[in-house]
Chains A and B, each alone.
Chain A
């Protein structure tokens, strides 16, 4: 007997649900992408305008056959999902289907025009930066048992302060310190109110978002609009790592970015290692899973939670500074546009792991970037609808449609020492 025959009924139902998803994808691919392309051929530009070691040829695809081939693969996957199933690899297969869908979509969108792959990937990584940093802020807080939905508030505070400090000091590094300070200040309010005064963590999170939105908007109209010299920060510039940045395709994407992007990549790796491989991480996670047991063996639960929330503030503050010190270069009212909520979503989709949150942030950054790129290509797809993708994915994840989400056991519960 093969293993799939004895698979539990729940697993079978889930696979069948995935199969329906694949069929939907297939219907869109065949019904829309294969029939309504605006040109015969799609050109993917793999080269960057700046110097590189050698030139790559442009990738030219004939639209209809390419979409048909991709559709055939999806059809095969759907057949297998309905019959034998993929067992433990089921979720990965859903990801593959989504990837095939995106490839078909891009082929259709670029039909009759040119799409810069370098620009798309480079922009995705840049846009993923604040989302990943916010996701790290969420991961470190929630692993210690404190729910942090105030990431949006930390972003706004960080962006505002970084802009003002960098303008005053004419130095992005000092501005970054200012942004970190603001993120930590909001985190301190979160920690103080929830850990010391045991206020409801979600209520406080919502309040801090309203508070940060109010204060930064108020000071923006009241102070910054009358004093533009306070709102012209010195920005980080892109740094090209010698030699590596000249590798075609991956060079400009990975090795010619601003310091904040490199910092984010380092932070993801460092936090993942620290959380899962060091004594500090074990203690932090034990406080989030079973604070009483942690207390019994002599770990200071409240101090650990305080430190975790403040560390989260550091990450979120850097994430906020990304807007004013990297991407935009000026503070404006509510400029973070709900990315703090997407960061929260990235943490959940990434299942409370730094690398997972980074992966989710990449996907969300990609959908963000595609929405912009397609406007440039004048593709008749409403960017607003594309931008709903991260939110839809998150609802599917928290509803358990992609496997059960298991938060830290003591998440959201205040701890009282007996």
Chain B
């Protein structure tokens, strides 16, 4: 060993550390240097194969996620959203408003009633999501479609596209899965359930393919075309549910026939009928693993990421941005379609008007909260699922309306989309809080 400081020791290489002379001076190993070392090591590990670059970018991202400030921002965003949510609860509580009426006479009253209201609401929120086995079951039930719609937004996000169309793709998937679920009878479950699920996924994929092709061929901005396709999907599904093809024969109101038993996802805890957690959760997790492989490990996924980071460079390297755009939108649509199928075949068993209930839009929150990463999106899906399940309990217990969950969600994304805002509030000095710049104007 020389008296020079060794270049970064590779992880797990203890000898380099032990053999260093005492007089080498202080060793300032910053996180950034460690990250650099990790990248170098990853590059060296597989220097020749095509997978190298992919590995390197992946580890770069992983390291950025673990050591970078983005996690700080995500946590602070979550906390800030809960704090503002608390203010809204307090202000909307009748008792607090009354106490505010004589605020200057007895200010403590306003604070006490305010704290009571917020405390009991958030306690109910926590209990309703994690307070016991039934609550955890409900959290997982709510998480299942959110994980999938989150992926529906996250995959196009990696290709630099903002898929607002998960709602419409969800509707397409749910409609077709439901149709296959009740129109075909007499099949065994091993055939019927996968068939219905596959039909839902295919419908979602087709509905995602349309804006992808429009973007690739004509340059039509995916945000505009998916907004329009959402509304078309909702209107057409409303029409279809009221036609004889879908409607229950014995009902006049728009409600579809029920999905056959053989096309329903089995409950995971079948001996306890009140627990609704079902096999669609496993499907969601399996699809997440498949998407992880596609985006982080496959050649196509590498192209997709490259197009997302710099379409011009990707084109120069011989890749086809158009193909990646179509792939990303179709895959995203497939995920949203799977979410629709999961809700119809696993939970509701029948189609009603507005069955999507904003789950597609929730996918935007989930994907941004997960910062576009696959694992992060799954985790964010569970978190938002917990917020939803807890929100229902909060509404039942304290009368605080469920819509608060929506407000908190919106606040979370505001803070994540504008890290500068979090920086300003918490006076963080770091300069490297990158903004989430995903879109490039209508011209594309």
Residues of A whose CB lies within 8 Å of any CB of B are 147, 149, 189, 193, 196-204, 206-208, 210-211, 213-215, 217-219, 221-223, 226, 338, 341, 344-345, 348, 382, 384-385, 387-388, 391-392, 394-395, 398-401, 405-407, 409-413
Judge whether B406 is part of the interface by a CB distance below 8 angstroms: yes
Minimum distance in angstroms from A218 CB to a CB of chain B: 4
Q: Which residue of A lies closest to B408 (CB)?
A: A214
CB contact under 8 A between A200 and B407, given known A207-B417, A348-B224? no
Interface size class of B (residues with CB under 8 A): 35 or more
Q: Which residue of B lies closest to A213 (CB)?
A: B406
Q: Is the CB of A147 within 8 A of B239?
A: no
| Stretch from B130-138, B192-200, B230-238, B278-286 contacting the other chain | B230-238
Minimum distance in angstroms from B239 CB to a CB of chain A: 4
Q: Which residue of B lies closest to A338 (CB)?
A: B231
Q: Is the CB of B225 within 8 A of A398?
A: yes
Q: Which residue of A lies closest to B395 (CB)?
A: A221
B224 surroundings in chain A (CB, below 8 A):
344-345, 348, 394-395, 398
B439 surroundings in chain A (CB, below 8 A):
147, 200-203, 412
For the complex, give the distance between the alpha carbons of A208 and B228 in Å.
18
A198 surroundings in chain B (CB, below 8 A):
418, 420, 435
Q: Which residue of B lies closest to A407 (CB)?
A: B442
For the complex, give the distance between the alpha carbons of A400 and B414 in Å.
33
Judge whether B318 is part of the interface by a CB distance below 8 angstroms: no
A221 surroundings in chain B (CB, below 8 A):
401, 403
CB contact under 8 A between A388 and B407, given known A204-B417, A223-B92, A348-B224? no
Q: Is the CB of B436 within 8 A of A199?
A: yes
B221 surroundings in chain A (CB, below 8 A):
398
Q: Is the CB of B441 within 8 A of A398?
A: no
B443 surroundings in chain A (CB, below 8 A):
406-407, 409, 411
In-complex Cβ contact of B413 among A210, A344, A410 (8 A): A210
Minimum distance in angstroms from A415 CB to a CB of chain B: 13
Q: Is the CB of B214 within 8 A of A395?
A: yes
For the complex, give the distance between the alpha carbons of A208 and B406 in Å.
11
In-complex Cβ contact of B421 among A193, A213, A338 (8 A): A193
Judge whether B189 is part of the interface by a CB distance below 8 angstroms: no
Minimum distance in angstroms from B380 CB to a CB of chain A: 15
The total of Cβ contacts below 8 Å across the A-B interface reads 164
CB contact under 8 A between A405 and B442, given known A214-B410, A218-B88, A399-B218? yes
Q: Is the CB of B441 within 8 A of A411?
A: yes
Q: Is the CB of A219 within 8 A of B92?
A: yes
Judge whether B351 is part of the interface by a CB distance below 8 angstroms: no
Q: Which residue of A lies closest to B368 (CB)?
A: A203
CB contact under 8 A between A395 and B403, given known A202-B438, A412-B440? no
For the complex, give the distance between the alpha carbons of A111 and B238 in Å.
27
For the complex, give the distance between the alpha carbons of A203 and B418 in Å.
10
Q: Which residue of A lies closest to B217 (CB)?
A: A399
CB contact under 8 A between A197 and B231, given known A203-B162, A214-B409, A385-B236? no
For the complex, give the distance between the alpha carbons of A222 and B407 in Å.
13
Judge whether B387 is part of the interface by a CB distance below 8 angstroms: no
Judge whether B295 is part of the interface by a CB distance below 8 angstroms: no
For the complex, give the distance between the alpha carbons of A410 and B225 in Å.
21
Q: Is the CB of B414 within 8 A of A202?
A: no
Q: Is the CB of B218 within 8 A of A384?
A: no
In-complex Cβ contact of B442 among A207, A382, A412 (8 A): A412
A382 surroundings in chain B (CB, below 8 A):
239, 242
Q: Is the CB of B403 within 8 A of A218?
A: yes
Q: Is the CB of A202 within 8 A of B162?
A: yes
Judge whether B94 is part of the interface by a CB distance below 8 angstroms: yes
Given contacts A200-B436, A384-B235, 17 further A-B contacts (CB under 8 A): A199-B414, A200-B435, A200-B438, A204-B414, A204-B418, A208-B410, A211-B410, A214-B409, A217-B403, A222-B92, A222-B400, A385-B235, A388-B232, A394-B228, A395-B224, A398-B214, A401-B218
Q: Is the CB of B229 within 8 A of A395?
A: yes
Judge whether B95 is part of the interface by a CB distance below 8 angstroms: no
Contact with A along B172-211 (1 / 0, CB 8 A): 0000000000000000000000000000000000000000
Judge whether B220 is part of the interface by a CB distance below 8 angstroms: yes
